[in-house]
Structure 1
């Protein structure tokens, strides 16, 4: 063998382990982000999530690959996205609700940025020790339901009858509705449930409202989140005050909201993803609950529907949108 050929052969043998390691390094960890609505509707949340990951050293395309998929309000599509990420071999799934991701996999770690009632719906064993492959942020929506209805009564002292626009195919909303009916009886107010199953049900649902309905509570979920602009437009046409769970609904024309800061929940979800990518197990990461809640009111919407907040109520608001 000629010396040159020998050196090439030896060099090739010596280099091959390094080449293999280099190839291995090019396979970035994949975060499968399951978007329930549309990119535009979720842009504040995805921005908060990606920004926090970058702060923790996970830069999309360099140290991690974030794959976004969008269900656009379709529960069926949301289920498909979970299965798609399993086939893709994602290292972590980021979701809301948790049901679709849990159906898709019992092994890939799942971080849920928004869970309505994870213990009550059976997603986790307990907040402290979730068990299984799922953890994340609980908004304890059923616990907040009472406070929201109390605020609605405070904003409308003459309140006797209000509607709940309820996506009844979502377990979290069903539990919300049960809690709201129980609480409403205690404060001598009647809650009327208006069931919806799909986006096409929303406009007809408003047509079923009787004249005695003085306001509407819209429990947050995948369907109403995607259609929140339409819901608020329909409510404004009827000059109907609306109460929501997140400020994003108020930004979209709702009258008022009470709930946690959603962008912060997605930032915390990014921190959970960071821990899991560094080796933490989801069943060792307690489900967190928000500790701060904001009351947000929209005076522009109030003027549009001829509604007037009391001075004392406005003084309680954490944010007033002019």
Structure 2
């Protein structure tokens, strides 16, 4: 977890009677998008024989699941837990894993619609994702992305990337298409590498939408997605219930309840965009 997210989680746990170092011991590992490190940390934490493990992202959850079928796991920032084989169904997970999803497939259509709204000149749109870390290899979002593109008279195309060099090449290719925009799909690789995406999009003058506020705060044009702090706040009650004897199999997988639209006006101006007043009035936050 990032420091801010970890703090939200710890504070929420403390309100439920669990204080780190007193009534509970919390061990934290952060592997970013490093697959090898993720698997190593999964083994390390399970050797510690924890009562419950909290995972963030699909790759992290998959790595821990590979190592245990008994230790309770509570995931967050996972889009497709059924497709990934983490749970049998959302209402009754059925195993040692439960948690909180962050996106439904239809969100890809929402991102594209917002991109068209902020820049009506967009007639082509690239979906940027890493097939190794995106839900269902990217197909989870892309089907809705294509459907929305047809409705909006936008030509969609995919831009799968697995490295900094491929991000650079993909965005350069987008820049050569007239009327092109960029939708950064939600996956852990794209989150870790968002700074490069933001910089390259700005360099080439490409309007881009992101799934999390952090990208907009870092200079991205705008974002729409769940309030990340709420995702981590939601996890605490499930951890509390498991520590008190509940089984993950009986705790339903839940969806986010709070979403936010964040617009960076400074970036919009640098792109020569006049953000529609209708969009600004709907924004939860405008960064000047």
Q: TM-score range by the shorter chain?
A: over 0.9
> C-alpha separation between the residues in 1 aligned to 2:105 and 2:276?
27
Question: 2:122 matched to which residue of 1?
Answer: 159
Aligned to 1:91: 51
Aligned pair 1:121/2:84, yes or no? yes
Q: How does 1:163-202 map to 2 (within 5 A)?
A: 163-172=126-135, 173-202=138-167
> Aligned partners of 2:244, 2:86: CA distance in 1, in Å?
24
Q: Based on CA coordinates, which of the two structures has the bigger radius of gyration?
A: 1
Partner of 1:72: 32
Residue 43 of structure 1 pairs with residue 6 of structure 2: no
Following superposition, the deviation at residue 311 of structure 1 comes to 1.2
Mapped to 2, the partners of 1:132 and 1:143 lie a distance apart of 27
Determine whether 1:221 maps to 2:187.
yes
Name the SS of the counterpart of 2:11 in structure 1: helix
Q: Is 1:298 aligned with 2:261?
A: no
Q: CA deviation at 1:150?
A: 1.5
Q: CA deviation at 1:213?
A: 5.0
CA gap 1:92/1:199 in 2 versus in 1, 3 angstroms:
farther
Q: 1:230 aligns with which of 196, 200, 216?
A: 196
1:184-210 CA distance string (max 9 Å, x none): 123221122111123443223223322
- Aligned-pair CA distance for 1:130: 1.0
Which deviations, in whole Å up to 9, do the C-alpha atoms of 1:82-139 show, x marking residues without a partner?
Answer: 1221122122111122222222211110111111122233321111111111111112
SS at the partner of 2:75? strand
Residue 277 (1) aligns with residue 240 (2): no
Structure-1 residue corresponding to 2:219 = 253
Are 1:267 and 2:227 matched, yes or no? Answer: no
Matched, 1:103 2:66: yes
Instruction: Please tell me whether residue 58 in structure 1 is matched to residue 34 in structure 2.
Output: no
Aligned equivalents of 1:202 and 1:157: distance in 2?
Answer: 25
Alignment: residue pair count? 282
Would the aligned equivalents of 1:163 and 1:213 in 2 still touch at CA under 8 Å? no
Q: Is the 8 A contact 2:116 2:122 kept in 1?
A: yes
Please give the residue correspondences for 1:128-139 in structure 2 after superposition, counting only pairs within 5 Å. 128-139=91-102
Q: Which runs of 4+ in 1 moved over 3 A?
A: none
More RCO (CA 8 Å, sep 6+): 2
Q: Indicate the SS of the match to 2:77.
A: strand
Partner Cα separation in structure 1 for residue 97 and residue 165 of structure 2: 32
Q: Distance in 1 between matches of 2:222 and 2:281?
A: 14
Cα distance between partner residues in 1 of 2:36 and 2:96: 22
Give 1:201-212 correspondences, 5 Å limit. Answer: 201-209=166-174, 210-212=176-178
Q: Which runs of 5+ in 1 are unaligned?
A: 1-34, 36-41
* Equivalent pair of 1:166/1:177 in contact (CA under 8 Å): no
SS in 2 for 1:141: coil
Aligned CA distance change for structure 1 residues 159 and 206 (closer, same or farther; 3 Å): closer
Which deviates the most, 73-82 or 225-234? Answer: 73-82
1:171-226: per-residue Cα shift (whole Å, max 9, x none)? 41331123212321232211221111234432232233223252111112211111
User: Matched residues in 1 for 2:220 and 2:31: separation?
Assistant: 23
